Amino acid sequence: MDRFVWTSGLLEINETLVIQQRGVRIYDGEEKIKFDAGTLLLSTHRLIWRDQKNHECCMAIPLSQIVFIEEQAAGIGKSAKIVVHLHPAPASKEPGPFQSSKNSYIKLSFKEHGQIEFYRRLSEEMTQRRWENMPVSQSLQTNRGPQPGRIRAVGIVGIERKLEEKRKETDKNISEAFEDLSKLMVKAKEMVELSKSIANKIKEKQGDITEDETIRFKSYLLSMGIANPVTRETYGSGTQYHMQLAKQLVGILQAPLELLSPEDLVNACKMLEALKLPLRLRVFDSGVMVIELQSHKEEEMVASALETVSEKGSLTSEEFAKLVGMSVLLAKERLLLAEKMGHLCRDDSVEGLRFYPNLFMTQS
């Protein structure tokens, strides 16, 4: 609650009123305070609260002070609320109703409803950040209000105050570091809302999904790495990015990679052969995909697999993998290929799947 400053409630030049709502109570953290019935106004720059009974009691918080906001649904005997998390007040803050507060958030309780629409508008203002484009002059932030100005202190109190200011500065740095996160969270909420809106429109056939909504939705998907949600591009017409990646893949196979989506990796691999690189993508009948050296001849490997199986009489994929020193998945693929080529046959029972040399063909 120490972030509020007294204000006349008059809007500045460039400042526009967005929405207002009667019957709003303010909480300092979880604590009820005396500001129990007021009109809450949202402008492009600030959140203003004016006491319904005493119009002179009017205070505001700049929107830039808000880290992020949350909704709290109404309950039995409880009104819906908006929780507003705040940055620490700057050292240069003008006087307000509270000198200090242990809480870094306030709650706005909508006793006469209106929470949903207010929340929506507030989210919008926080995303658009119009106050950044339309500065208002500081001097019009007035000192009017029943409280006196800040007292400058010296001596021990002065030292204490300096320590307090240093703490606030640290706090502010931390909050700034989390600003991106707050922006992300606002965007995430936006995306969820947009998705819900589209889903509802589809469900209830409530009119068309606007082009704007579609564009916004696609841009969200793009930022998540889903290039084209409507049609899948075939690897034949692959993007520049995948081509570059394919070339790089050869060099960086051993080195730790930065985060790379499996889809990107597969698309890049699909281009290996076309780009005449020494690696290539191979797809087995089962759908399993592997990267192998161009020089690698799986068919030759099959001949040696047959030798190994014959030596041991019969082998499961796991046994073969262990013997040869390869992954069970690849071991199975090799044995299946050998079976396909007619070198091995299978014994499938409750004991598991075993491969034998194909005596059906070799023995009369």
- Residue 363 binds another protein (CB under 8 A): yes
Give how far Cα 341 sits from Cα of 7, 145, 196, 281, Å: 85, 91, 53, 21
Residue 280 or 334 with smaller CB distance to another protein: 334
Question: Greatest CA span in the chain, whole angstroms?
Answer: 109
Residue 213 or 339 with smaller CB distance to another protein: 339
- Residue 332 binds another protein (CB under 8 A): no
CA atoms within 13 A on the CB side of 275: 25
Q: What are phi and psi of 172, to 5 degrees?
A: -65, -40
The residue type at 257 = L
- Residue 349 binds another protein (CB under 8 A): yes
Transcribe 328-342 into DSSP letters. Answer: HHHHHHHHHHHHHTT
Q: How far is the CB of 219 from another protein (least distance, A)?
A: 48
Separation CA 254–CA 115 (nearest Å): 55
- Residue 342 binds another protein (CB under 8 A): yes
Of the candidate spans 12-20, 171-179, 218-226, 350-358, the one that interacts with another protein by CB under 8 A turns out to be 350-358
- Three-state DSSP string of 21-78: EEEEEEEECCEECCCCCEEEEEECCEEEEEECCCCCCEEEEEHHHEEEEEEECCECCE
Separation CA 146–CA 206 (nearest Å): 51
- Residue 285 binds another protein (CB under 8 A): no
Q: What are phi and psi of 154, to 5 degrees?
A: -120, 180
Q: How far is the CB of 316 from another protein (least distance, A)?
A: 12
**Looking at 37, 90, 314, 323, which residue binds another protein (CB under 8 A)?**
314
- Residue 345 binds another protein (CB under 8 A): yes
Residue 292 or 298 with smaller CB distance to another protein: 298
Residues 6+ apart with CB under 8 A from 271: 235, 238, 242, 243, 246
- Residue 361 binds another protein (CB under 8 A): yes
**Looking at 107, 270, 334, 354, which residue binds another protein (CB under 8 A)?**
354
Residue 3 or 354 with smaller CB distance to another protein: 354
Q: How far is the CB of 281 from another protein (least distance, A)?
A: 25
- Residue 233 binds another protein (CB under 8 A): no
Of the candidate spans 82-90, 92-100, 232-240, 353-361, the one that interacts with another protein by CB under 8 A turns out to be 353-361
Q: How far is the CB of 335 from another protein (least distance, A)?
A: 12
Separation CA 275–CA 229 (nearest Å): 27
Residues that bind another protein (CB under 8 A): 314, 339-340, 342, 345-349, 354, 356, 358-361, 363
